[in-house]
Amino acid sequence: MANTPQPLRRTALLASGVALLGLLTACGNESATSSGTPQPSEAARTAGADPASGTATPGDTAPAIGAAPSDTAGSASASARTDGRCHTSELRAAVGRVDPGAGQRNFPVVLTNTSDRTCTVYGYPGAAFVDGSGKQLGPDPERAPGSPETVTLPPGKSAWAGLSFSSPQISGARTATPATLLVTPPDEREPLKVKWTAGEVPVGGNASSVSVTALEAGTGP
Q: What is the pLDDT of residues 50-85, one digit of tens each?
A: 434 444 333 333 333 333 333 333 333 434 344 699
Q: Considering the chain, what percentage of its residues have pLDDT values greater than 90?
A: 54
List b or e across 15-54, with b for residues whose CB sees 16 or more CB atoms inside 10 angstroms.
eeeeeeeeeeeeeeeeeeeeeeeeeeeeebbeeebeeeee
The fold adopted by the segment(s) 93-217 is Immunoglobulin-like (2.60.40)
Q: How many CB atoms lie within 10 A of CB 128?
A: 18
pLDDT tens across 78-118, in order?
343 446 999 999 999 999 999 888 889 999 999 999 999 99
Report, as an integer, the average pLDDT of 132-149.
Answer: 95
Q: In this predicted structure, what is the pLDDT of residue 125?
A: 98
- State yes or no: pLDDT of 32 exceeds 80: no
Q: In this predicted structure, what is the pLDDT of residue 3?
A: 54
The whole-angstrom separation of Cα 48 and Cα 56 is: 6
The whole-angstrom separation of Cα 75 and Cα 99 is: 45
202: part of which helix (H) or strand (E)? strand 201-204
